[in-house]
Structure 1
Amino acid sequence: MAQPAGELARPGAADILKLLAPYPGRAAMATRIALICALTVFVTSAYGTPEAALSAYIVFFLNRPDRVTSVLLSAALMVLVTLVIGLVLGVAIFALDDPLWRVACIAGLSFGLLFVTSASKLRPVGAILAMIVGFGLDKLGSVPFGEVATRALLYTWLFVAIPVGVSICVNMLLAPSPRRLAGRELAKRLRAAARGLSEPDDAARAALTACLRDGDAQLGTWLKLSVVDGSSARADIPALRQAVSSTLAILVAADLVAREPSARLPATFAAPLAETLENMARMFDAGGYPVEIELALPGSTELPPIARMVADNLRAAITGFAVVEAVQEGDTATSATASASAPAPAPAPASAPATPAAKPGGFFLPDAFTNPDHVRYALKTTVAALFCYLLYSQIDWPGIHTCFITVYIVSLGTTAETVEKLTLRIAGCLVGAFVGTAAIVFVTPALTSIVGLMALVMVGAWLAAWVAFGSPRIGYAGFQIAFAFFLCVVQGAAPAFDLTVARDRTIGILLGNVVVYLVFTRVWPVSVATRVDVALAALQQQWQRLTSLAQSGARRTQAASAMAQYGALQQDLALMHYEPSWVRPEPEWIAERRDVLAGFGALEGPMFLLAEQRPGDVAIDSWLRRITREMPQSHAEVASSEAAVAHPTPPEPTPDDTRAALLKLGEARLTQLEHAASDDAAKGLATHAPV
């Protein structure tokens, strides 16, 4: 059974240790980030540019696991910052001499950039641009107009350009290629499936669940990027996409084996299957991919129906692992084959597996100019930033100017995310400030050169990156550790040990966090509930469309997207526990959505396997209507009825024992969930009954 949706607990000490555990590539990512931060500090020290701490911190926003995305993101940010600095220069001509106009310009530009951040694809870096604009205008206000102001703008451009340039150089030399990362991820999934088949314990089930919840979108992106940087031949991509599709089928079958006793395979099946999957994983680790796989298994006719179906599905998915499915589009595509060695020979030309038609996406989101939340987010963040700016300006305490910067870095769209991340931010800030202060007291006085400062920065950045680029559940703490540590340790172009600077900057970080919390929980609070019903309806439609797809490639792509969407919804329901009582929906509302989502989770495996055996089976429609019968008519039921009109229900198939076994399994899981929901409702009534 799947974990009950929305029951994710706050991580305790044991959970945090698990979240900090190493995984393939984590140490390399942390080392690359630490090296870029250290080199950034070296360059800023050599040229004497101000705000070297911010330059080092920007590195955390520029880098991704693969080199192509990192380089493209760095280059795009550099272009955007150049345009923004030009905008600031034009505005500064009219605003520097008048403090009132300067504040008005900061507010206007901040609001505009934050609106675009919320309502477009600029979201990853938009808040940083807004921070640069406000910070640049603030700094310009403290210098006389003329050559000094121009130099200040140049320095503002440089404190972004330096980490961008260093990041691009280091990533080109050291960052892994997208093809390598895709191979590593596929190897991890195959090993998880092998363990689920041979050792179906709790750890194996958790690993399988994590792989299914990750979806295939990132793998698809890496495969596209691998053609861009030349790490994959274009002719290999169809076979690799088929490998991704086959891996999903293997994971679903292994997950069913790990969770259902009736699907367990005897050792004569499990051992050779697990060994074959391990060998395939090693091929991916070596840089190739497996084809023409031979798999010797005993006859499956004596196995129970579900176990027989699992064995047959695994055999078909493994032996046809990278064989591209033929597609009829005027001509029949030929199956692609290639060598498992690296690099693999080019497979025969083939059409890629059909995928659902994607809606063309523009720069702005579909609801950019109709959803008031985008305007409110921009307004709330701007008000919080201006409050901090006016506060430290009026009390003449420039040392806490980090509160102004913090607002842009930590502002989030919903109240639940704000509250959840607040604990991580404050904990990260305190850890980073403690480590930074300890370094100032015990380490910095012994440093005599920039090399020593670089080594200190590299150690602190490595620790922060280890946390930041691990699990998303604690990633925000890592970013905050880096922010506080850099602000304490990097005080100029040389080693410095002024504790007052560290104290003031830490106070500013904490103040900025508190201001964001108060604003985002009291002014136009946005509940996660606003997107739950829409997401549930979209999830129902995804599974509904699965029944109309005859091609296995398209069907598996759709199923992978639905399973990833389930994980996102599970996180949203769990986030509601962080919302204040005046924002959070009623417990009954949450319970209803949790039960609906649990129904999708319970039937993911049976629906996928039934669609693989019999595309368009009427049982899937029946299950979906049963799961979503409690949903509002405006969402799930309307979508279901529209889908039924668009795709008429096929005639009832002739029964067989595997289909009957799957139907029995699905019914048993739904019945179990319904009984659990009834028991929970009864307990709730008893708890609230009048005395």
Structure 2
Amino acid sequence: MKLADYVPEPLQALASFFREELTEARPGRVAQATQLGSLCLLVVLVSMTLSVSLIAVSLIVLFYGVQQNAFFTRVVAVVFVVATVLDVGALFLVLKYAYGYPLIRIAAAGLILFASMYLMRVNKLGLMFFAVALVAAYGQTIPDSLDFPEIAVRALMWAVVAGMYPVLLMVIVCGFLFPSRPVDLLQRELHRQLSDVSARLEQMRGTALTDASAASPATRIEKDTLALQGLHTFASSDDAGYRAIAPYWKACIAAVGYLRAKTNALASRPLPMGDAGRALVSRLRDEVAALNASVEQAEPYRGTWIPTHAERAIARTFGLDGLCHTLQDLARFDLGQPAPKAPKDALFVPDSLTNPVYLRFALKVTLAALICYVFYHGAQWDGIHTSLLTCVIVANPSTGASFQKMMLRCGGALIGALLALLTTIVIIPRLDGIFGFLLMLAPIFFAGAWVATGSERSSYIGTQFVFTFAMATLENGFGPSADLGEIRDRAIGILIGIVVSAVVYTFIWPESEGNTIRQKLADALREAGKLIRHPDCADGSEHLDYLQQRVACWNALKSCEDMVERVAMEVNVPSATRRAMLQRARDVLDGGRRIVDQWDVLRDRLGAEGHEEPAVDQAWDAWRQQVAEALDHYADGLTAQPPVATPPRSLPAAPSADVRSPLVTKARHLATQIIELPDWTTTVASGIDTAATQPGKSI
């Protein structure tokens, strides 16, 4: 038996999760982690050389400020500067007029915290108000630990220095000296993905598959394509040349995602090809290489290859016609096509003044923070003031998202505390200079930077364990600390904050995404319906639009998947109800992906076969409309209260008995996927729609 057979399944799942997160090759991750780790070492050196206090604050600014590309880093730097002005102004007023009146000072700080958390929910600049809330909470530790207002003001000014000079450093280093421009990142990622397409084509020709060209799973292709879309948004804002032909690059991203998905599927079930088939695959590989060369030069792809009648017949035989159409249509893309104007989001959410959920959220956070403040101040245990910060940091709109953040913060804090304990006992007593100290910090900072630049599912662990480690080892004086009590207090404070937050956020106006997830699933199925309805033109001019709609389906399904992970953490929902609802949601997600993939196959076959009789084409169009309406009807049932989504009892397998059997078989498979969608009308499935889990209701 293998060693894995003796390991419990939960541990295997946890190990698989961390392996996936640590090895994720996100565009620009290596450069971002290198910049972040190097800047952390530079900040420690500067702070200790110039005696700048609050090193942990300087480090946390870097972890929140250094982004995957230079454009976003500069945007976040501006937000930090504005937030600092607001922070300092608010705290100065509080210290000036209420320093000697603790009750008034606490009430004023509570009002600032309440207003900041409310604005974080209703304003699109939520990150800025989150920073204001954190400083308002942390600022209460200054007058509590100092006896004179002058000293408190001086400490506040040093806090401004500690927070602002890292912003200047990261703008200089990440924005100007070693910038990771979105356009460059997008080009490199497109090059990598097209290299993967070439490897799949080589595999189809019979070339031995090496470890370096191992096939990518379908979910990885989906994530990579959506990551490219994010880079496309930044590149359109950052580069005028890119922005001039942005519609082409958006179509290119969708085309590359399709090429990867299609070649991976074809290579996984290779067909015996003759010399003519291998010649066509070689021709496709040459065109992909030409597309790759145009990407490297940041120029539009302009291939001149037009498949012959014989090549089209071979493509239909081996399922390569979709690849041929995609490359041809991309080569003929109209570069003069104007970019659609993106709708501008309002500064505030539409129901900011009418929905009581936002006010209740702000009240919950303020209450949790005040409970922690009263506890540690009443117990005269200022070392656990991290409990107050924890209440603000883990605050999220839903209980599931809050518990997810709590677990990340708790895990990161324990890792940081353990590292601080080991270094304090084993390494710090043997240090005799700054070089050795920085050498000790380097692996910790770079490891934290690598984790922090991963996906949102785990990135906060890296931020948290570096911050906890810095609070425990770098905050006392301008040299390494050997006080084990600091490590204990920081960790205990975080755990107390998590317990208080868990109780308050669970039992006072809990917010559940259990209802919202059904709306998200319905939106994803409607996107799939649009995909099936998408018109086909004889000249193939709509093919690239179809591929972009396909990416929209992937995006909707990924949003649903992220929400499912958060709902799984909602402990305020009965476990049986939550499990049943999550299982049905996962079944809808799996079914939605299969529907998109199966329609892809059927659409390619329909386009390859063609029809000389208009009546047959009209029959297929009517069948497609019927299938899309079945998806829309199911989606409408998902959004009902309670849900009444039931799959259709039957769908016609094909529009006509005269069509060829391969089309009938593929159409039957698509109809089967829709019929097998889960039934939401059972009591357990709809039991989540109780008053106990409605936003704004309490249990």
Give the shorter-chain TM-score range.
0.7 to 0.9
Aligned-partner Cα distance in 2 for 1:261–1:673: 28
Residue 114 of structure 1 deviates from its aligned partner by: 0.9
1:62 CA displacement = 0.7
Residue 531 of structure 1 is matched in structure 2 by 516
The equivalent of 1:494 in structure 2 is: 479
Answering whether residue 329 of structure 2 is matched by residue 315 of structure 1, we say no
- 1:51 aligned to which of 45, 49, 54: 54
Q: CA deviation at 1:144?
A: 4.7
CA contact (8 A) 1:140 1:153 kept: no
CA–CA distance in 1 between the matches of 2:55 and 2:391?
Answer: 19
Deviation, structure 1 residue 434: 1.3
Cα distance in 1, alignment partners of residues 35 and 657 from structure 2: 57
Of the structure 1 ranges 603-612 and 236-245, higher mean CA displacement relative to structure 2 is found in 603-612
- Supply the AA of the counterpart residue of 1:360: K
- Could you report, residue by residue, the CA deviation over 1:54-106 in whole angstroms, capped at 9, with x for unpaired residues? 22122111121101111111122112221231122223333222111122112
Q: CA deviation at 1:301?
A: 4.9
Q: Does the CA contact (< 8 Å) of 1:63 and 1:167 recur in 2?
A: yes
Displacement of 1:467 in angstroms is 1.4
Within 1, Cα distance between the matches of 2:451 and 2:69? 18
User: Which of 279, 301, 325 is equivalent to 1:291?
Assistant: 301
Q: How far did 1:599 drift?
A: 2.9
Q: Does 1:520 align with 2:505?
A: yes
More deviation in 96-105 or 133-142?
133-142
1:60 aligns with 2:63: yes
- The answer as to whether partners of 2:201 and 2:285 remain within 8 angstroms in 1 is yes
Contact 1:389/1:401, CA 8 A, preserved across alignment: yes
**Structure 1 418/238 Cα, relative in aligned 2: closer, same or farther at 3 Å?**
closer
CA distance in 2, matches of 1:625, 1:264: 39
Count of residue pairs the alignment pairs up:
634
Which residue in 1 is equivalent to 2:419?
435
Aligned to 2:192: 188
323 and 405 in structure 1: CA distance in 2 versus 1, 3 angstrom threshold: farther
Question: Per the alignment, do residues 440 and 524 of structure 1 end up closer, same or farther by CA in structure 2, a change over 3 Å counting?
Answer: same
The superposition leaves residues 502-533 of structure 1 with CA deviations (integer Å, 9 ceiling, x where unpaired) of 22112222222232223223332222213112
**Aligned partners of 2:344 and 2:255: how far apart in 1?**
27
Partner of 2:588: 596
**Structure 1, unaligned stretches of length 5 or more?**
1-7, 326-335, 337-349, 638-651, 685-691
Specify which structure has the bigger relative contact order, considering alpha-carbon pairs within 8 angstroms and separated by 6 or more residues. Answer: 1
> Match of 1:626, as an amino acid?
A
CA 1:10/1:120 → structure 2, altered by over 3 Å: closer, same or farther? farther
Answer with 515-524 or 293-302: which moved more. 293-302
Question: Which of 367, 379, 397 is equivalent to 1:395?
Answer: 379
In 1, Cα distance between equivalents of 2:247 and 2:38: 36
The AA in structure 2 aligned to 1:114 is M
- Residues 299-349 of structure 1 show CA distances to partners (whole Å, capped at 9, x for unaligned) of 3454585x56x4222123224435433xxxxxxxxxx4xxxxxxxxxxxxx
Q: CA deviation at 1:30?
A: 1.5
Instruction: Tell me the residue number matched to 2:23.
Output: 21
Q: Which residue of 1 aligns with 2:284?
A: 273
1:667 equivalent to 2:668? Answer yes
Tell me which amino acid in the other structure corresponds to 2:666.
L
Match status 1:626 vs 2:624 = no
- Per the alignment, residue 150 of structure 1 pairs with 153
Match 1:178 to one of 171, 175, 182? 182
Evaluate the alpha carbon distance shift between residue 322 and residue 627 of structure 1 in structure 2; reply closer, same or farther with a 3 A threshold. same
Q: Distance in 2 between matches of 1:669 and 1:135?
A: 57
Contact 2:225 2:253 in 1 (8 A): no
Superposed displacement of residue 464, structure 1: 0.9
Structure 1 residue 598 displacement after superposition: 3.0
The answer to whether residue 352 in structure 2 is matched with residue 362 in structure 1 is no
Q: Which moved further from structure 2: 547-556 or 86-95?
A: 547-556
Establish whether residue 114 from structure 1 lines up as the match of residue 117 from structure 2: yes
Structure 1's 515 and 197: CA in aligned 2 closer, same or farther, altered over 3 A?
farther
Amino acid of the structure 2 residue aligned with 1:520: Y
Aligned-partner Cα distance in 2 for 1:412–1:219? 27
Answer yes or no: is the 8 Å Cα contact 1:62–1:70 preserved in 2.
yes
Q: 1:132 aligns with which of 130, 135, 141?
A: 135
- Per the TM alignment, residue 187 of structure 1 is displaced from its structure 2 partner at its CA by 2.2
Hey, what's the Cα distance between the residues in 1 that align with 2:13 and 2:37? 26
Post-superposition offset of 1:173: 1.3
Residues 146, 525 of structure 1: alpha-carbon distance in 2 compared, 3 angstrom cutoff: closer
Aligned letter for 1:179? V
Is 1:12 aligned to 2:14, yes or no?
yes
CA distance in structure 1 between the partners assigned to 2:280 and 2:193 by the alignment: 19
Q: Which runs of 5+ in 2 are unaligned?
A: 1-9, 537-541, 608-616, 642-653, 686-699
Which letter maps to 2:496? L
The secondary structure found in structure 2 opposite 1:321 is helix
Instruction: Tell me: CA distance 1:397–1:471, structure 2 relative to 1, closer, same or farther (3 Å).
Output: same
For 2:131 and 2:272, the matched residues in 1 are separated by: 51
Match of 1:12, SS state, is helix
* Distance 1:563-1:634 versus aligned 2 partners, 3 A rule: closer
What SS does the corresponding residue of 1:97 show, helix, strand or coil?
coil
Identity of aligned residues (%): 24
Q: Does 1:567 align with 2:558?
A: yes
1:579 to 541, 551, 570: 570
Q: Deviations over 1:272-305 (max 9, x none)?
A: 4346535644664x45356233659783454585
Tell me, what secondary structure is at the counterpart of 1:443? Answer: helix
| 1:481 CA drift (Å) | 1.7
Amino acid at match of 1:671: T
CA shift, 1:396, in A, is 0.8
Give runs of aligned pairs for residues 357-506 of structure 1, distance below 5 A.
Answer: 358-491=342-475, 492-506=477-491
- Between 592-601 and 492-501, report the one with greater CA deviation: 592-601
Mapped to 1, the partners of 2:563 and 2:667 lie a distance apart of 25
Deviations 1:397-421 (A, max 9, x none): 1111122222222222222223334
**Alignment match, 2:493:** 508
CA distance in 2, matches of 1:366, 1:667: 44
Distance 1:233 1:302, change over 3 A: closer
| 440-449 or 495-504, larger mean C-alpha shift | 440-449
Is residue 62–residue 164 contact of structure 1 (8 Å, CA) maintained in 2? yes
CA distance in 2, matches of 1:222, 1:84: 31
Post-superposition Cα deviations, 1:363-417, rounded to whole Å, max 9, x if no partner, equal 2223433444323332222222222222111111111112222222222222222
* Residues in 1 aligned to 2:137 and 2:655: alpha-carbon distance in whole angstroms: 65
> Structure 1 residues 655 and 317, CA, compared in 2 at 3 Å: closer, same or farther?
farther
How many angstroms apart in 2 are the aligned matches of 1:460 and 1:92? 37
Q: CA deviation at 1:626?
A: 2.9
Letter in 2 for 1:476: Y
Paired position in structure 1 for 2:262: 253
Equivalent residues of 2:631, 2:674 under 8 A apart? no
TM-score by length of 1: 0.80
Cα separation, partners in 2 of 1:88 and 1:295, compared to 1, 3 Å: same
Which residue does the alignment assign to 1:542? 527
C-alpha distance after superposition, 1:477-524 (max 9, x if no partner):
222222222222212322222222122112222222232223223332
Q: Which moved more, 1:482-491 or 1:117-126?
A: 117-126
Aligned equivalents of 2:494 and 2:33: distance in 1?
A: 24
> Offset at 1:636?
7.9
1:526–1:583: 8 Å Cα contact kept in structure 2?
no
Structure 1 residue identity aligned to 2:568: H
Paired position in structure 2 for 1:351 = 337
Q: 1:9 to 1:415 in 2, by over 3 A?
A: farther
Instruction: Give the partner amino acid of 1:185.
Output: E
Structure 2 length as normaliser, TM-score?
A: 0.79
Closer/same/farther in 2, CA of residues 676 and 93 from structure 1, 3 Å limit: closer
- State the partner residue of 1:168: 171
